[in-house]
Structure 1
Amino acid sequence: MSKIPAIFSDPPTALLLEIGQTIYNDSGSDSHRPGSSGTSLGGGGGQVHSMGGMQMNLRKRAAAAALGIGLFGGMIMSPAMAETLKIGVVAPLTGPGATWGIAMSEGAKIAAADVNAAGGLDVAGTKYQVEVIAYDDQYKAAEAVAAYNRLTTQDGVKYIMTLSSASTLALKDSIENDGVIAVTGAYSQKIIDDKSKYVFRAFSTSHNFLPPFAKWMAENRKERHLVILNPNDETGWDQSQLSEKSFKDAGFEVVANELYERSQKEFQPLITKIMALDSDVIDFASSPPATVGLFVRQARELGYKGLFIKTSASGPREIIEAAGGKEPVEGMINLLFLDPAKKGDYERVAALYREHIGQEPNEILAPYYDGARSMLRAIAAGGDVNDTAKVSAAFKTIFPADSVLGDQLNYGPQQILTTHYISEVRNGEPVVIGKVQ
């Protein structure tokens, strides 16, 4: 295994939190749609575009933070003296999927702030200040294509993070042809194939953890009559097929496998149909947390008494909020990216998120922070920011590695392999009751 560059050695958490807040929290909003003229702020001390006097202020703060971290032996260098490395984010920053998209954008910016606070990313002796540019694709493939084109042609980006399956599939050929490194949260099995070289998944997906979870459900729960609900798009189609096969193989009867539009907010007709099927468990699969909360509230109001489960990209806090309180969600089983009882470095990362965004993060922040950090590690290990083929080859050499929670991250073909936790909502809080790997 290749040695991880020294830039990733960890300074004391308290100082890093203070420095991260100095650089990162002063950033304002840097997300905007591809066609807009909105502002863009590089995460963690990158350049500020079209923001006047704030640019000089931010540079002064970043320089001071770099000086402070220099006490621990890091190279003392102000952002003005360093080269710039740009990371693009293409994700839904508005609409039903925004809780995931904002987690991706902020995770990348916090990872960038950490590296910048330590003097920059050391790539073969050259220090780079990392700038994050995020565009809102609104969960639409066409918007993702526009964002990608702007990032690669106007912004000069060679490294990106993408979120949805539909968006990533629309970009897949361009990513491979252009030699752009992409770390993605997309679940579709079509994203990665034998020809993939530049696309890497940020975490284990349903294809890794859903079959063992379905087996766990069969061994630990009495419910057997399942309804599967997914949004009517590439992500939902892929998840729908996988869920049905996984649960059938585990001994469940799938009484319905339904799709709905992502913009849908009223579910009474669908709920009435489901209640007539005498189902005792509903899996929301790849549905956004806010949508799940609306459905749960309406289902309970109509008298549905069955179990709710969420097997993909969960968010218990957002579900409870959208459901109008903890009572409708009590007992819900979720698959989580983290164990809420574990702290690790995630407590610091979440604190920075709260300070900047003003609300609790979706727990998918953890693997997106790890994904961005892994990309930066691979760039450093590759030794040349302009040679993405070298960075691609170096990606597998940086594992195993510690996650932000202290778990171990491993490498699979074009993918970071992560642990998922099984939780049950009890009195409004997710409590871990098992895990799958």
Structure 2
Amino acid sequence: MKLIKMAAPLVAGLGISIGVLGAAHAQTVKIGVIAALTGGGAPWGMAAAEGARIAAAEINAKGGLDVGGKRQKVEVIAYDDQYKAADAVAAYNRLVRQDGAKYVIIMSSAGALALKQNVEDDRILALTSSYSAKAIDKNSKYMFRLFSDAYDYLPALIAWTRDNYKERRVFTLNPNDETGWDQSKLSEKVFKQNDFTIAGQEVYERTLKDFQPLFTKVIGLKPEIIDLGSTPPATAGLMIRQAREMGYKGMFIKTGGAGPKDILAGAGKEGVENMVSVLYADPKNAGYQRVAAAYKKSTGQEPNEIVVPFYDAVNVLLQAMQKAGTASDTTKVAAAFGKALPMASLQGDQLTLGGKAHIGADQQIVSTMYIGVMKNGEAVVVGKAR
């Protein structure tokens, strides 16, 4: 199993300490990140690690987190779970048992589901970007979803597509795991509610690279739209390129797991033209551009837009610590999320606490998502979905 404790020069000290604070600081707030730092999900995983790192660096640059009048530095430790549940469990155990982290970010649904009970038993406050409806339920006290999920934004995204395009015959493709199953089930329901016809559905293994046999079947059903659902960005780019090479001329829509730059890199500008996609950020927003610049300075790469909700979630977490007056008592910090929210997001939208309507508990940071359309190689924001 591959665990990566990230250090310079890749992310300028992530996993050691971030910022230079005086020796008088008696305590350190440790935030662990369990994410896919390699493989197809790496754009999301790196965004998770860097979003946390940038938020921590900003706090440390101001002298640390002020909790009850005492300044504490914030340290971020990131491990690679390669999108595998077993690796996520190993990373969690190392973070909690060896590194002493009381707070963790869990990127994947596989990791969140594998660690759901551990989090509650250990009273470790966890922030997850899991799309699975099973990751959080009415009994969850320490697991929070860190942004709006498909239940929140998908109705607006699909309604916008209905109102702006004449195509109505849809085939949906998703990974063969908890994330993909949930996305497939929900998207079918919402498409039908908006007068679309489901031509078919399919799930595929995340390790798959040759999609020609799959697209032979899909194209044969004559869909006007192919929804790539929660497919990772790099894989989505590969799928679009192969589908176009096989003669598919219809639309693509990306109802989950955004990453237009990574999709563009794999599919080419003509391949993604007019693709409709959910976006985690507005690329033109000044707040996004500031964090994107910090990301690029640290990694030498452009970020996936999901860096924004990870950055925002860490700031909500740190604000909850301040409201609770403690960084060591996770029970009090979890209870303080309702005091930390609402608050402004990086992009100026409002973050609120919600989720009870569909997960049974207010254990979710409700954020604003954006609707984008690919035009001449760029994602153009055409609306908001919340």
The answer, yes or no, to whether TM exceeds 0.5 is yes
CA contact (8 A) 1:45 1:79 kept: no
Q: How many residues align?
A: 377
**Match of 2:170?**
226
- Distance, in Å, in 1 between the alignment partners of 2:154 and 2:98 is 40
Matched, 1:382 2:324: yes
The residue identity in structure 1 corresponding to 2:150 is: S
Q: Which residue in 1 is equivalent to 2:82?
A: 138
Show the counterpart of 1:346. Answer: 288
- Tell me by how many angstroms 1:243 deviates: 0.9
**Partner residue in 1 for 2:270:** 327
1:356 matched to which residue of 2?
298
Question: How far apart are 1:349 and its partner, in Å?
Answer: 1.2
1:267 aligns with 2:211: yes
The one of 92, 102, 127 aligned to 1:148: 92
Distance in structure 2 (CA, Å) of the matches to 1:425 and 1:43: 30
Matched position secondary structure for 1:80: coil
1:171 counterpart = 2:126: no
Matches within 5 A, 1:357-436: 357-412=299-354, 413-436=362-385
Tell me by how many angstroms 1:33 deviates.
Answer: 3.7
Q: Report deviation, 1:341.
A: 2.3
Which runs of at least 4 in structure 1 moved beyond 3 Å after TM superposition? 38-48
Q: 1:108 to 1:220 in 2, by over 3 A?
A: same
How far apart, in 2, do the equivalents of 1:326 and 1:347 lie? 22
The correspondence of residues 51-62 of structure 1 with structure 2, limited to 5 A, is: 62=19
- The Cα shift of 1:133 comes to 0.5
Measured in 2, the distance between the counterparts of 1:404 and 1:377 equals 14
CA deviations over 1:213-253 (Å, ceiling 9, x no partner)? 22222222111110000011111111111111111111111
2:177 equivalent to 1:243: no
> 1:123-134 counterparts in 2 under 5 A?
123-134=67-78
Which ranges of structure 1 fall in alignment gaps of 5 or more residues?
1-31, 49-54, 64-77
Distance 1:222 1:39 in 2: 48
How far residue 264 of structure 1 moved from its aligned partner, in angstroms, is 0.9
Superposed displacement of residue 47, structure 1: 7.3
Distance 2:236 2:193 in 1: 25
Determine if contact 1:135/1:147 at 8 Å carries over to the other structure. Answer: yes
Task: Map Cα deviations across residues 87-144 of structure 1 (whole Å, 9 max, x no partner).
Answer: 0000100010010000000000111100100000011111111110001000000000
CA distance in 1, matches of 2:352, 2:249: 40
Q: Identity rate of aligned residues, in percent?
A: 53
Cα separation, 2, equivalents of 1:105 and 1:314: 17
Distance, in Å, in 1 between the alignment partners of 2:256 and 2:22 is 39
SS at match of 2:39: coil
Contact 1:43–1:108 (Cα < 8 Å) also in 2: no
User: In structure 2, what is the Cα distance between the partners aligned to 1:205 and 1:240?
Assistant: 13
Corresponding residue SS for 1:135: strand
Paired position in structure 2 for 1:254? 198
Residue number among 187, 205, 208 corresponding to 2:149 in the alignment: 205
One-letter amino acid of the structure 2 residue matched with residue 294 of structure 1: L
Distance in 1 of aligned mates of 2:14 and 2:82: 24
TM-score normalised by L of structure 1: 0.83
Contact preservation (8 Å) 1:46, 1:129: no
Q: How do residues 23-38 of structure 1 correspond to structure 2 at under 5 angstroms?
A: 33-34=2-3
**Structure with bigger gyration radius:** 1
Is the partner of 1:341 in helix, strand or coil?
Answer: coil
Q: Name the counterpart of 1:189.
A: 133
Paired amino acid for 1:284: L
Alignment partner of 1:311 is 2:255: yes
SS state at 1:218 partner: helix
Q: 1:208 offset after TM fit, Å? A: 1.0
Residue number in structure 2 paired with 1:26: none
